[in-house]
Amino acid sequence: MATGNRLLSKQFETFFMTMTPPTHPLARLALAVLFISLFAQLTLTLPYPSGGIPVTGQTFAVLLTGYLLGKKYGALAILIYILLGVVGLPVFADGESGIEVLTGGSGGYLIGFIAGAALTGFFAEKGWDRSFPKSLLAMTLGTLLILLFGIGRLAQMYTLPQALEWGLYPFIPGAIVKIILGAAVMPIYYRITAGRDL
């Protein structure tokens, strides 16, 4: 019975969790929060008709955290990350912090991070992290969920056309890049460690 329980629990773990040494959950959460905080400060400026659009690594790190840790710990890591930013640590994009970030126009995206990480974590636990096509779909759905939360918040503050103009259209090129990169990470890791084809 104990063996059966262990096998059953493995079915609900991501490939990353099964292939890494056992680590206390708090240690994994701390590393995940650090990972997101660092990537939130990475900025790439993409060309856009109205000027350069800054794209951070924040969404990439958020969705990958869910994919690595699974839905429960992935969502918890994002929640801790947000709480640290709210209390004043400069962990948000561009080193921002404070409750006003959560209550302002960016707040919808931050809440969406929790849902997005939980969604990609759910798919990873279903084995989608072994396949590039499935990973691509998981990352796309996670990104769309985050955008839905973000645009919804902006639409409450302004109008829907303004929300789309400010909170969606400029970020599509960067989102595509991050989706592809995020989708490639775990299948490549799986191929290297398990010796499988993508």
Per the document, the length of the chain is 198
What is the pTM (predicted TM-score) of this model? 0.84
Kindly state whether residue 124 falls inside one of the protein's structural domains.
Answer: yes
Rounded CA gap, 22 and 17, in Å? 8
Query: Which regions of 38-146 does DSSP assign to beta strands (E)?
Result: 43-46, 53-56
Rounded CA gap, 164 and 180, in Å? 22
Kindly state whether residue 141 falls inside one of the protein's structural domains.
Answer: yes
Residue-wise pLDDT for 146-188, tens only, equals 999 999 999 999 999 999 999 999 889 889 999 999 999 888 8
pLDDT of residue 6: 34
Rounded CA gap, 39 and 58, in Å? 5
Helix crossing, 132-157 with 172-194: angle to 10°? 150
pLDDT of residue 10: 45
Dig out the tokens for 177 from the structure: 């890049």
pLDDT of residue 1: 36
Q: How far does the chain reach from its first CA to its final CA, in angstroms? A: 34
pLDDT of residue 18: 61
Per-residue pLDDT in tens (0 to 9) along the chain, 198 residues? 333 333 333 445 666 666 566 667 888 899 999 999 999 999 876 665 555 556 789 999 999 999 999 999 999 999 999 999 999 999 999 899 999 999 999 999 999 999 999 999 999 999 998 899 999 999 999 999 999 999 999 999 999 999 999 999 988 988 999 999 999 988 887 777 665 554
Kindly state whether residue 51 falls inside one of the protein's structural domains.
Answer: yes
Kindly state whether residue 164 falls inside one of the protein's structural domains.
Answer: yes
Kindly state whether residue 132 falls inside one of the protein's structural domains.
Answer: yes
DSSP state at residue 51: S
* Domain hosting residue 137, numbered range: 21-194
Amino acid type, 136: L
Kindly state whether residue 5 falls inside one of the protein's structural domains.
Answer: no
- Other beta carbons within 10 angstroms of residue 176's beta carbon come to 12
Kindly state whether residue 66 falls inside one of the protein's structural domains.
Answer: yes
pLDDT of residue 23: 66
User: How many structural domains does the chain have?
Assistant: 1
pLDDT of residue 13: 65
Kindly state whether residue 9 falls inside one of the protein's structural domains.
Answer: no
Rounded CA gap, 97 and 142, in Å? 24
pLDDT of residue 3: 38
- Give the domain CATH number at 175: 1.10.1760.20
Dig out the tokens for 38 from the structure: 């660092």
